[in-house]
Structure 1
């Protein structure tokens, strides 16, 4: 078993329309061929965080039962992709019409607004029911920022061409996976959170079997693997980014989302629940 527990397949009458709309959006974007740069990938970051927030709100039971299955995993990823794609298309037309200076700015500002509104709603609910606990999530973000800075400095010193080629996209990939690793480690070692992804659980259990577990916990190995894997991926993608920058940055955006989405989910969930 390699898939996490808790994956839910919504009813067909919810799945089919979402997939059809998503397919149409992808086809239209393929035809429009909007530019994909470092700024575009960074502009997607708030949308990755927005998707994670929707899943946290689902776990808090805030959605009506009729549409609640749309925000389960993995359906929430498709829903987020639909909204993001629509905003991207609108941004393209606004840019072509001279109403927006850049497409990425529109995507980023809109995504930040969506994420902020929904995240604040989750925080407000947690304050109302008395579950607001920001200490460890804040620690996780700070630690992840420090580890990312050290990792990126090391990458820049020893593999300068990789850091220079992947740029801000590379930083987002490393930070997303670092934060995912740190929040998972804190959840497992300190907050007694359960880990539903079998491969992640295997790493955590491996860390727990080491002599160091008694002193520094089991999660450090998971963090190390996540950071190392992110940097290896960037190294493997260097030539791809040089030869086909648009396609490569789109794939790296997906890689970043795989890390940043769960990371923000953990951070926000630990804060509100």
Structure 2
């Protein structure tokens, strides 16, 4: 099996409009050519978290049955991209009209607002059933922060040019994938959560087969691979960022989303039980 479990294709009458609207948003952004800097990538971090929150709400059955398939994987990514892209377009016009100092500031504030409102809604739904369990999510975020700091300092000392070139975008890539690794490890080792992605499950099972699994669990290998992979990707992207920074940072933002989205999904899902 190559595709993760839970991979859902919605009905054509929902799929087609999403594809058309997403294509239109991408085409307009392509024509506008808004700048993509470190600040732009960081501004889109809340949107990555927002998309994960929508998927958690889907698992909580918060949406009407007629549209709930819009928030399944991978459809939720397209829906999130449409909303975030539309806000980006609005931000461009507001900036050109002199109503906003920077484009990234408006995008970041809007994304933070969307994520906060929907995350609190998910927590509110779970609070009614008394299933709020914040202990392990908090531990995951703290551990991921520490591991990210160690990894970034190591990268800065041994491969200074890579860290300096990729900047905040690179740090977000490392943190997103580290948090994804830590939450997956905690879910697998502590909370007995299932893993839907075949490749991730293969790594977890490999860690479980090691003699260390009895003492430190199976997830540490998955965390190590995620962190190492993120740092290798940054190393491979160094020249690309130097030569074509706008395109390279756009691709790195997608790489960060692949880590941060599932990471926030795991964190929030563990929180709401």
SS in 1 for 2:115: helix
Query: How far apart in 2 are the matches of 1:221 and 1:180?
Result: 13
Deviation of the 1:172 alpha carbon: 0.2
Report what 2:136 is aligned to.
136
Deviation of the 1:3 alpha carbon: 1.3
Query: How far apart in 1 are the matches of 2:213 and 2:142?
Result: 22
Deviation of the 1:2 alpha carbon: 2.0
Equivalence map 1:246-265=2 (5 Å): 246-265=246-265
Query: How far apart in 1 are the matches of 2:211 and 2:115?
Result: 41
Equivalence map 1:213-252=2 (5 Å): 213-252=213-252
Query: How far apart in 1 are the matches of 2:66 and 2:58?
Result: 12
Report what 2:95 is aligned to.
95
Report what 1:5 is aligned to.
5
TM-score by length of 2: 1.00
SS in 1 for 2:174: helix
Deviation of the 1:124 alpha carbon: 1.0
Query: How far apart in 2 are the matches of 1:3 and 1:96?
Result: 42
Query: How far apart in 2 are the matches of 1:2 and 1:227?
Result: 23
Report what 1:196 is aligned to.
196
Query: How far apart in 1 are the matches of 2:93 and 2:16?
Result: 27
Deviation of the 1:137 alpha carbon: 0.3
Query: How far apart in 1 are the matches of 2:237 and 2:148?
Result: 19
Query: How far apart in 2 are the matches of 1:172 and 1:132?
Result: 27
Equivalence map 1:204-215=2 (5 Å): 204-215=204-215
Equivalence map 1:179-194=2 (5 Å): 179-194=179-194
Deviation of the 1:142 alpha carbon: 0.1
> How many pairs align?
273
Query: How far apart in 2 are the matches of 1:2 and 1:14?
Result: 25
SS in 2 for 1:192: coil
Q: Deviations over 1:109-160 (max 9, x none)?
A: 0000000000001111111111100000000000000000000000000000
Query: How far apart in 2 are the matches of 1:50 and 1:144?
Result: 19
Report what 1:23 is aligned to.
23
TM-score by length of 1: 1.00
Moved over 4 A (4+): none
Report what 1:115 is aligned to.
115
Q: Which runs of 5+ in 1 are unaligned?
A: none
Q: Which runs of 5+ in 2 are unaligned?
A: none
SS in 2 for 1:132: coil
SS in 2 for 1:129: coil
Query: How far apart in 2 are the matches of 1:71 and 1:94?
Result: 29
Report what 1:172 is aligned to.
172
